[in-house]
Structure 1
Amino acid sequence: MKNILIKSFLSLIFCLNLYGQANLVPINNRIYDFLERMTVKDALDFNSFFKPISRKEIAAMLHEIEPEKLSDVEKEELIYLKQEFNREIISIINPNQNFNGKLNLLWAGSTEDRLNLLDYNSPHFNFTFNPILGLSVRNIYDELQLKRWWGFSFYGDINDFSFQGDFRDNWEQGDNLDKDYRFNDKTGPIILKSTTNTIEYSETRGAVLYSNEWMTIGAVKELFNLGSGYRSQLVLSQKAPSFPSIYLKLAPVEWLQFNYLHGWLISRIEDTLLTYKTFIQGRDRRIYRDKYFVMHDIQIKPFSDLTLNLGETVIYSDNGVYWGYLIPFLFFRSVDHMFEGGGGSNAGNNGSLFFDINYKFLSKFKTYFSVFIDELSLSDLLDGSSDRNQFAYSIGLHAYDFGISNLGARIEYSRILPWVYSNFVQTQTYTNSNYLLGHYIGQNSDQLFLQLDYRLLRGLEFKFWGEMIRRGGFDDVANQYTDPGEPFLYGLRRNETNLGLEITYEYIHDLSGRISYQYSDITDEDALRTPEFMMGRQHSFSVGFYYGL
């Protein structure tokens, strides 16, 4: 089965005509914020619903921006960012451009290029390599907490095949470490080593992709954002660790795009029948149950200021890779009926629907509305007869350059009703390695987020933000399937208020410093949910320096 799948995939790849490069730019790269601001300002047309996108796509958008529409700071930003994507921009302007064909160390080809540790450019092979280094110190919970990380990243292409990789090793120290990252939006670590006051973990990402004029396809292990949300996303956020996937993106015309992922997740549910003893007593070989994620999404742009997305997700498990979910264009809800129907009770999978609207209703203003549906009865919702409507939504407004140049403002509200993301089958919860794939606040909760951001100089950014988060209880999962269901925010309440100020400065490409302050006030009626050291009013300060994102 696995050999057939691999051979079929490779055969599809190699029978295609070659066209272009498609290295994906990580979702935390500063470029996405710039593209979003330029879109709100009507200097560009970029939809941030599905990320990451390729260097080739970003270069085309940067090349499209007219400097005459920008402020002085934005013009400097544009020049600076074009240095990052100069090779791709040159390929757009002059596809027959011949590069020097030399291996260069600590080299920028011209004033229009950025500096890289290792760089090679030729007509048929390109390669770039850079280190990753970082150190941050944080004063929180009446102690100093340290974090350091190191690694490397690279990307390149051979004709029309692209490859990339990113590795980083992390170490954290502190008596009151938040080891499970349960209450923040950062990517959850898979801890390799842990002591009373330290943790160590690593993360690796990468991709091998083929791209032509209208399609990108390949194997990817990367963090994805799927959903219009700034603080977090409903469908896929950065909360869960990256997972390997088959990736497909089709864009046959400007107004239509199709996205597909089939991923391999870590269930953390032990298969006790397959677990076996090793030669060392007490060190049994632990085998986990199979778990998979599949998603497809269609994006339509009927007007220049309106973008619509509609799609499905499925979490399935236990029976190996199912070929029905490897056909990107099938209606997955109907595929699931093949498991559940015909006497196959409790044999189905965890399917969901989502849709998203992005609308620029005025120049310099954009609004968005995103919905994720686990279970919904429209009649019950309208007459209020049941609380078993399990869906989540986010609604937000982004304004930029309104009255004051380089000033941005955001307001976003997200609500996740009880039992969204959960399932009575342990291997079909909406998680990877026990971290949520969707919005990090989780089910039975809501969040109001506001932010002001201002850029004084190229690379110098100020952010002032605040949020209020309410979390309810989490009862017996059997109640998820019992009428009338639980009301929103049922159970023991956790309330959290945060205020933050952050100053970031990027001196040269990838070399940055950050200073931040955060005030938090947390109360929790559940004595077991929140560690004691997090409770009450807290002040934290942090300073960090890093090279590489």
Structure 2
Amino acid sequence: MKKYVIYLLFIICSKQLFAQSVYLHSSHQVYSFLKKVEAKQLITNYRDAVKPLTRTDIAYFLAVVDSQKIKLSQVDIDLLNYYKEEFYQELKLMNLLSESDSVILNERWNLYSYKSGGAIVNGNFVGGYTYRDWAFDKNTRTRSNGLITYGYLGNNIGGYLYFRDHQQGGSYKDPSFRFSPEQGQLPVRYTSEHVEYDYADAQLNFDVPYVTFSIEKMSNVWGAGNRGNIILSSKPPSYPQVKIRAKLGEKAHFTYIHSSLHSELIDPVNSYITPFSSSDSTMRTIYRQKYLSAHMLEFSPINGIDIAVGESNIYGNRSPELLFLIPTMFIKSSEHYTVDLDNNQMFGSIDINLIPNYNFYGSLFIDEFSTEEFLREDRERNQIAFTVGMQAYDLIYENTNFLFEYTRLNPWVYNHKFPDATYQSHNYDLGHWVGQNGDLFYSGITYSPLFNLQLTFEYEKVRKGGKKENKYQYMLPTPEFLYSPTIIDSFYGLKARYEPIRDVVVDFHIRNTSFSQEEAIPLIEQFPKTKANYTSKFDLFLGIRYNYQ
């Protein structure tokens, strides 16, 4: 019966050859819910190695879960109904609302909603205020406001705009959110009292049968991971790109992007000085071009196993190359055509849900690797990163989630001899926020007594070594993992997330933290030491936010 229902839903959705697409930001809580029901084996062919997914894709999987909701706890049923109201428009567009749904459920409220003919537009305000009392006796206050709007036009056009303006004050101001998974920002104004920055995403999508074409400014989250992603992550500010996502039947997806990164490298040839007044002049600064080309193939060889493989290339200091505008080009071979001027990477991930209520996952990022010299300590230069993790749902008590995750990044991962070919944008690594020569262990236990309340007890330890001059990247033997000067940052504590009203979220955490950083060593790069070492001090955070992503 289960297979029949899923097959029927797939046929219904497949007949909609011109389905509109709007990608849902990767931070939305519905992704965690779908991960749980996948581990419970209520859905199959749910592939999330490339995020974000579209709202219509998510609505489809919610409909599949709804057909088997008898297997869910009451908390999860309440959460499912909550998400069905959130994606009511998409469920209705795909004819996936039952008669009882039309009576019981209410379409979510929007501050502004416009429907006429084939057009649907939704709009809402965005706002928030957060306060953090740091363990090193400083504090940060941040207020924000903005707007979000998204909608559909006809049968094949979808659009989205999200904007948020921030003012950060207090005794500690850090819009880069250094050494944390929070997205780094680009300050636009500094004063003695505060720093200002803004956040903006946008997308315009066009659908034809089985393929979605996009021009957008969005964050890519590729690979498996809960506390960071080693392939592509939301740590750097989002960047503009063109994207193609193709559905290759029920068992596979293919995604291609070509992105414009920011090199932070001044182009001395094209920069120039121009008169500003009779006595002054000003510099017109031009930055060197920098681009990312990447693709990923996701497929499900059997139910319960999802595999993704892909590659990428960073290149710069020239116009976009036609070679990298070919979505299906084998990027590794492009090194030969460009005479090894660029920076190629290969990567993959696996997601396993073969045991009910258990999810095992892993990702591998290969910057440089030699199979012949892998086991030779005097020869190996294996610049790789990997993540392994597991989640166990309802293991001891209903509505619980146990999470364990470990990530390691070898020295020189994301680096390159040419500064316009590093795996970075605006000097932020495109992958994991820990960066090269570091590792992270995270564990957490989450309990949800209500569908809109999550309580988590968590522990994390991060270690990060130094970074020598670039010449050592190409010398043998490779420096040992976590060479000095090292940083060790750890905490344990409680965090809570409560959503009393739709999209109004109250966040709180209290942590017992410890931090140590070795003294600087000449010619070895490390984060600047901005605070003294400490042991067992408390870190407090409280925030209230509306329509945050």
Corresponding position of 2:248: 252
Matches within 5 A, 1:340-379: 340=339, 348-379=341-372
Structure 1 stretch 174-183 or stretch 207-216: which is displaced more?
174-183
The residue that corresponds to 2:75 in the other structure is 73
Q: 2:271 matched to which residue of 1?
A: 275
2:3 equivalent in structure 1: none
Following TM superposition, by how much is the alpha carbon of 1:530 offset from its aligned partner in structure 2, in angstroms?
4.4
Measure, in 2, the Cα distance between the counterparts of 1:254 and 1:297. Answer: 16
Matches within 5 A, 1:40-51: 40-45=39-44, 46-51=46-51
Is this contact kept in 1: 2:63–2:96, CA < 8 A?
no
Q: Are 2:115 and 1:116 aligned?
A: no
Structure 2 counterpart of 1:90, one-letter code: K
Whole-Å Cα distance in 2 between the matches of residues 162 and 18 of structure 1? Answer: 14
Aligned amino acid, residue 207 of structure 2: S
Report the counterpart of residue 506 of structure 2 in structure 1: 513
Q: Residues 196-239 of structure 1, C-alpha deviation per residue, up to 9 Å, x if partnerless?
A: 44211011101010124411111011111101011000111111
Corresponding residue to 1:418 among 391, 411, 434? 411
Give the corresponding residue for 1:492.
485
Q: Does 1:60 align with 2:55?
A: no
Is 1:313–2:312 an aligned residue pair? yes
Q: Is the 8 A contact 1:412 1:449 kept in 2?
A: yes
- Name the SS of the counterpart of 1:378 in structure 2: coil
Looking at structure 2, the residues matched to 114 and 209 of structure 1 have their Cα atoms a distance apart, in angstroms, of 23
Deviations 1:337-364 (A, max 9, x none): 1111xxxxxx610000001111123111
TM-superposed CA distance for 1:383, in Å, is 3.4
| Distance in 2 between residues matched to 1:416 and 1:282, nearest whole Å | 46
Shift of 1:125: 0.6
Superposed CA deviations along residues 484-535 of structure 1, whole A, max 9, x for unmatched, are 2212112212111122311111122211111211222111113473434363
What are the residue-to-residue correspondences of 1:23-34 with 2, within 5 Å? 23-34=22-33
Residue aligned with 1:57, SS:
helix
Partner of residue 83, structure 1: 85
Q: Paired residue for 1:261?
A: 257
Query: Which residue is 1:457 aligned to?
Result: 450
- Does the 8 Å contact 1:414/1:446 carry over to 2? yes
Code of the aligned partner of 1:427: D
Contact 2:49 2:298 in 1 (8 A): no
1:452-498 CA-partner distances (Å, limit 9, x unpaired): 11111120111111111111110011111112221211221211112
Q: In structure 2, what is the Cα distance between the partners aligned to 1:238 and 1:500?
A: 24
Q: CA deviation at 1:123?
A: 4.1
CA contact (8 A) 1:41 1:401 kept: no
The 3 A distance-change label for structure 1 pair 94 and 473 is closer
For the pair 1:533 / 2:531, whether they are aligned, the reply is yes
- Letter matched to residue 203 of structure 1: Y
> Paired residue for 2:11?
none
Task: Give the partner amino acid of 2:123.
Answer: F
Residues matched between the structures, number: 516
Distance in 1 of aligned mates of 2:519 and 2:47: 40
Distance 1:179 1:252, change over 3 A: closer
2:543 corresponds in structure 1 to: 544
Q: Equivalents in 1 of 2:193, 2:458: separation in Å?
A: 30
* Deviations 1:9-52 (CA, angstroms, capped at 9, x unpaired): xxxxxxxx970111011111111111111111222233331110
Q: 1:206 maps to what in 2?
A: 202
Counterpart secondary structure, 2:245: strand
Paired residue for 1:395?
Answer: 388
Q: Deviation digits for residues 294-343 of structure 1, max 9, x if unmatched?
A: 11111121100111111101100012100111111010111221111xxx
Equivalent position to 1:133, from 106, 112, 127? 127
Q: Contact conserved, 1:127 with 1:157, CA < 8 A, in 2?
A: yes
Q: How far apart are the structure 2 equivalents of 1:402 and 1:534?
A: 41
The CA distance in 1 between the partners of 2:138 and 2:330, in whole Å, is: 53
Trace 1:414-493 onto structure 2 (pairs within 5 A): 414-493=407-486
CA distance in 1, matches of 2:519, 2:178: 15
Q: Does 1:235 align with 2:239?
A: no
In structure 1, distance between residues paired with 2:168 and 2:179: 17
Aligned counterpart, 1:13: none
SS at match of 1:533: coil
Alignment gaps of 5+ in structure 2: 1-15, 521-525
SS in 1 for 2:159: strand
Moved more, 521-530 or 458-467: 521-530
Q: Is the 8 A contact 2:290 2:421 kept in 1?
A: yes
Q: CA contact under 8 A between 1:367 and 1:398: conserved in structure 2?
A: yes
Greater CA deviation, 384-393 or 242-251?
A: 384-393
Tell me the distance in 2 between the aligned counterparts of 1:43 and 1:111.
22
Contact 1:472 1:491 in 2 (8 A): yes
1:436 Cα shift? 0.9
Aligned partner of residue 354 in structure 2, secondary structure: strand
Tell me if structure 2 keeps the 8 A contact 1:175–1:196: no
Q: How far off is 1:177 after superposition?
A: 2.3
Opposite residue 143 of structure 2, the aligned amino acid is R
SS in 1 for 2:232: coil
Q: Is the 8 A contact 1:388 1:486 kept in 2?
A: no
Over aligned residues, Cα RMSD in angstroms?
1.9
- TM-score, scaled to structure 1: 0.91
- Between the aligned residues of both structures, percent identity stands at 28
Match among 364, 373, 385 for residue 380 of structure 1 = 373
Structure 1 277/110 Cα, relative in aligned 2: closer, same or farther at 3 Å?
Answer: farther
> Where does residue 286 of structure 2 map in the other structure?
287
Counterparts of 1:524 and 1:483 in 2: how far apart (Å)?
27
Are 2:141 and 1:146 equivalent residues in the alignment? yes
Take 2:40 and 2:327, find their aligned partners in 1: how far apart are those partners?
35
**1:143–1:495 distance in 2 versus 1, CA, 3 Å:** closer
Aligned partners of 1:356, 1:18: CA distance in 2, in Å?
A: 29
- Counterpart CA distance in 2 for 1:313 and 1:540 is 38
1:80-128 deviations in whole A, cap 9, x for unaligned? Answer: 1100000111122269x9xxxxxxxxxx999521110000124411100
Residues 94 and 387 (structure 1), Cα distance of their counterparts in 2 relative to 1, 3 Å cut: closer
- Residue 223 in 1 paired to residue 219 in 2? yes
* Distance (whole Å) between structure 1 residues aligned to residue 299 and residue 222 of structure 2: 15
TM-score normalized by structure 2? 0.91
- Note if contact 1:177-1:197 (Cα within 8 Å) is conserved in structure 2: no
State the secondary structure of the residue aligned to 1:60: helix
Residue 177 of structure 1 corresponds to 173
Q: In structure 2, how many angstroms separate the alpha carbons of the residues matched to 1:462 and 1:249?
A: 36
**Could you tell me how far apart the structure 1 residues matched to 2:488 and 2:335 are?**
38
